[in-house]
Amino acid sequence: MTEQETAGLENLLHENRRFAPSPEFSEQAVAGPELYEAAATDRLGFWARQSRELLSWDTAFTDTLDWTDAPFAKWFVGGKLNVAYNCVDRHVEAGNGNRVAFHFEGEPGDTRTITYADLQKEVAKAANTLKNLGVNTGDRVAIYMPLIPETVIAMLACARLGAPHSVVFGGFSADALHSRILDAEAKIVITADGGFRRGSASALKPAVDAALAKGAPSVSNVLVVQRTEQDTEMTEGRDLWWHETVGEASTQHTPEFFDSEHPLFILYTSGTTGKPKGILHTSGGYLTQTSYTHRNVFDLHPETDVYWCTADVGWVTGHSYSVYGPLANGTTQVLYEGTPDSPHKGRWWEIVEKYKVSILYTAPTAIRTCMKWGDDIPAQFDLSSLRVLGSVGESINPEAWVWYRKVIGGDKAPIVDTWWQTETGAIMISPLPGVTETKPGSAQVPLPGIAADVVDDEGRPVENGGGGYLVLTEPWPSMLRGIWQDPERFKETYWSRFKDMYFAGDGAKKDEDGDIWLLGRVDDVMNVSGHRLSTTEIESALVSHPKVAEAAVVGANDETSGQAVVAFVILRGAAGDGGPDVIQELRTHVGNEIGPIAKPKRILVVAELPKTRSGKIMRRLLRDVAENREVGDASTLADTSVMDLIQTGLKDAK
């Protein structure tokens, strides 16, 4: 620990710095303060205007919102559109066919440049192939793929046919894939032989074979993209190679136009708090809000920006901010197949330099990992093209926020901390980069057109300075339309806790300015001797200590205090092995930061934390460990071996 690093820490202990946009930034920003005014004056009129301006409708809608069958919403009633036409064809028709849609970077270093004109042909070919395989409007298609262009092409081909897709993260097991294929009764599975991960070809197709061997009567065919060229078993009559079918198909396909409420996709939530839910999204409202937020939150200038969202498409962020929002806006994007550390820990920054990425959207977990690897790695690359930085997935610890701004953003790029969920479909709470004076660690304000609040147990809005539950008080265009095949669970999960409000399941507080701070899942809130403690705050306190790289906090049953705070920490290299002195130091640090009540009763040093594909910590599994129970369902972890690693490590330490 150098003196300078320790001095940096002092500043962060209570991070009160504010970062206003520069006048030059605000000057050129697509969104100014008038957006809030316009939305406040006439909210539905505002959305209707956004929808007409941002999308191309084949038949104009007659009503903006029908909420008579609440909580089942209909947006842009009577309108007809084709989502894929909006994302691809219309850009070509407008003369932008030569604009790059994707700079694809494979993990081994292979690259492809795909223009909007190329994309139009590829999507038409895939749509024709699916059609030939009997996919009709309304049929479901499962997509189980690495992060390659064909994944996006497959999604758009489904959208073009009005066949809802269900993308299943390529890291999931055959079991997880099987249950999702059954739940959605998918007709076709689109997959690949494999993908490249950490320097080697990792097979995908065998998991599809295993899933289908468990019985999946709805599936008639499997379409297989050749990516790694590894040996792959093909079942005669069922399995087809993409290059032999799509590769040979016609590039002409005339889109049909579908009702605004036509289902676009089903996507299962991460399962951090329970059994995954099949979230249903539809067309017109979803595309309106994803394109609106993508444009305004990231200050998109489609002619000049190069945008990169690092999310896997198996996560909602990949749907809304690597596919639908950016493509509807005619964006040039980077698509990268692999991990940030392959073949070296500077790979992401090398990609930023190579493509002159100007807008980067990633998750706090990735930022903390890069922080742990050290400032000298990004310092080797030219990151000066970056002008907007986004964060999503969990609260960003102030420490990580400031690092992101300084080391990656050159102390000038505004950070947008975006709060939303699979269920909300698009960003809901976030600064606007040319308007908002940002606060490290807070998502701050509902976007223009969005109504959010923090309420107490009785559903009454809390005063500034108070804490409670995050709710959405008005319907929004990209809201989920239900849980697939389960309307009761939809009402029960989101609409029964408070009357006429959507319950997000997150704890939050309003600060003195009325800005919103997210505090973690309501399910994770701890109750220690009658005090309600937030996981996020204690974790941020731990991460603000120079010896800690990552932290996860849970409340474990405790005879004396009801619940006791148990922390799992990953130490930084310099901290040694985490002997009793370090543990004591961390406990004292949390006590100083938040108060004695928040001091963890136990701190366990671990090498990894259990995370979902979107980098969220699965605290329920850690609670199982802390309470010495058998560990629950871990099938949606990005790496399922982590729990074994943690338990073995803890046994060895005893």
- By CB under 6 A, residue 535 contacts ligand ATP: no
DSSP structural state of residue 598: G
Cβ proximity of 171 and 137 under 8 Å: no
CB of 268 to Mg ion, least distance (A): 11
Q: Which does 202 bind (CB under 5 to 8 A by kind): Mg ion, ligand ATP, none?
A: none
The candidate with the shortest Cα–Cα distance to 623, out of 568, 584, 569, is 568
- Is 202 a binding residue for ligand ATP by CB under 6 A? The answer is no
Q: Tell me the β-bridge partners of 322.
A: none
Q: Is the link from the previous residue into 343 a cis peptide, with omega within 30 of 0?
A: yes
508, two tokens: 């939050």
Q: DSSP secondary structure string, 388-412?
A: EEEEESSPPPHHHHHHIIIIITTTT
Total residue count of the chain as it appears in this document: 654
Q: Rounded to the nearest whole angstrom, what is the least distance from the CB of residue 276 to ligand ATP in the complex?
A: 5
Residue 317 marked as a ligand binder: yes
- By beta-carbon proximity to ligand ATP, the closer residue of 504 and 582 is 504
Annotated ligand binding at 417? The verdict is yes
User: Of the candidates 298, 419, 469, 494, which one interacts with ligand ATP according to CB under 6 A?
Assistant: 419
Q: From CA 339, how far away is CA 419, in angstroms rounded?
A: 24
CB of 425 to Mg ion, least distance (A): 13
Using only the alpha carbons of the chain, give its radius of gyration.
24
Q: Residue 394's closest CA among 364, 367, 353, 429? A: 364
Burial string for 155-179 (b: 16+ CB within 10 Å, else e) reads bbbbbbbbbbbbbbbbbbbbebbbb
Neighbours of 350 (CB within 10 A): 16
| Minimum CB–partner distance for residue 610 and ligand ATP (Å) | 12
Q: Which residues contact 237 (CB under 8 A, 6 or more apart)?
A: none
Q: Smallest gap, in angstroms, from Cβ of residue 620 to Mg ion?
A: 12
129 among annotated binding-site residues: no
647's contact among ligand ATP, Mg ion, none, with CB below 5 to 8 A by partner kind, is none
316 binds, among Mg ion, ligand ATP, none (CB under 5 to 8 A by kind): ligand ATP
Residue 198 marked as a ligand binder = yes
Q: Please name the amino acid found at residue 134.
A: G
**Count residues contacting ligand ATP (CB under 6 A)?**
24
Residue 395 marked ligand-binding? no
- Closest by CA to 160, choosing from 283, 56, 60, 249, is 283
521 is in an annotated binding site: yes
271 binds, among Mg ion, ligand ATP, none (CB under 5 to 8 A by kind): ligand ATP
Q: Which of 145, 287, 392, 528 binds ligand ATP (CB under 6 A)?
A: 392
- Return the residue of 82, 296, 395, 478 that touches ligand ATP, per CB under 6 A: 395
Residue 545 marked in a binding site:
yes
Q: Is 420 annotated as a binding residue?
A: yes
Closer Cβ to ligand ATP, 120 or 322, answer by number:
322
Name the one residue in this structure whose structure tokens are 């800005």.
515
User: CB-based contacts of 16: which residues, under 8 Å, 6+ apart?
Assistant: none
**Would you count residue 170 as binding ligand ATP (CB under 6 A)?**
no
Name which of Mg ion, ligand ATP, none residue 43 binds, using a CB cut-off of 5 to 8 Å depending on partner kind: none
Please state, in angstroms and rounded to a whole number, the distance separating the CA atoms of residues 156 and 165: 9
- Reduce the DSSP state of residue 322 to 3 states and report it: helix
Is residue 270 near ligand ATP by the rule CB under 6 A? yes
Of the two residues 393 and 468, which places its CB atom closer to ligand ATP in the complex? 393
Instruction: Pick the stretch among 38-46, 56-64, 498-506, 583-591 that binds ligand ATP (CB under 6 A).
Output: 498-506
Q: Is 540 in the site for ligand ATP (CB under 6 A)?
A: no
Out of 106, 162, 276, 615, point to the residue binding ligand ATP (CB under 6 A): 276
Minimum distance from CB of 18 to Mg ion (Å)?
Answer: 30
DSSP percent split of the chain into helix, strand, coil, nearest 5: 35, 25, 40
Distance of CA 243 to the CA centre of its chain: 30
518 sits near ligand ATP (criterion: CB under 6 A): yes
Instruction: Give the one residue of 245, 365, 422, 563 binding ligand ATP; rule: CB under 6 A.
Output: 422
The CA-based dihedral angle spanning residues 373, 376, 382, 387, taken in that order and rounded to the nearest 10 degrees: 60
Show the site string, 591-620: x = touches Mg ion by CB under 5 A, - = not. Answer: ------------------------------
What residues contact residue 602 under an 8 Å CB cut-off, 6+ apart?
Answer: 564, 566, 567, 626
| Residue with smaller CB distance to Mg ion, 170 or 276 | 276
State both tokens at 46. Answer: 């505002």
Query: In terms of Cα–Cα distance, which of 15, 10, 24, 21 is closest to 402?
Result: 15
Q: Is the dihedral of CA 604, 608, 610, 612 positive or negative?
A: positive
614 interacts with ligand ATP by CB under 6 A: yes
Contact letters for ligand ATP, residues 436-465 (x by CB under 6 A): -------x----------------------
Q: x/- site string to Mg ion, residues 325 to 354, per CB under 5 A?
A: ------------------------------
Structure tokens at 384: 């000066």
- The option from ligand ATP, Mg ion, none interacting with 616 (CB < 5 to 8 A, set by class) reads ligand ATP
The identity of residue 56, as a single letter, is: S
Cα 127 from chain centroid (whole Å): 27
Contact map string, positions 293 to 322, toward ligand ATP, x by CB under 6 A? -----------------------x------
Binding mask 255-284 for Mg ion (x = CB under 5 A): --------------x---------------
Sole binder of ligand ATP in the list 96, 218, 273, 640 (CB under 6 A): 273
Task: Please report how close the Cβ of residue 346 comes to ligand ATP at its closest, in angstroms.
Answer: 26
Query: Distance (Å, rounded) from C-alpha 112 to C-alpha 287?
Result: 27
Q: Specify the residue, 36 or 503, whose C-beta has the smaller distance to Mg ion.
A: 503
Residue 511's CB is within 10 A of a number of other CB atoms, namely 14
* Separate counts of helices (H) and strands (E) for the chain: 22, 30
Choose between 349 and 503: whose C-beta lies nearer to ligand ATP. Answer: 503
- Please list the residues that pair with 279 across neighbouring strands: 267, 483
Spatial distance between the Cα atoms of 336 and 146, rounded to a whole number of angstroms: 10
Instruction: Report the interface residues with Mg ion, using CB under 5 A.
Output: 269
Instruction: Report the interface residues with ligand ATP, using CB under 6 A.
Output: 269-273, 276, 316, 392-395, 417-419, 421-422, 443, 504-506, 518, 521, 614, 616
Annotated binding site: 197-200, 317, 417-422, 506, 521, 529, 532, 543, 545, 548
Annotated binding site for ATP: 417-422, 506, 521, 532
Annotated binding site for CoA: 197-200, 317, 529
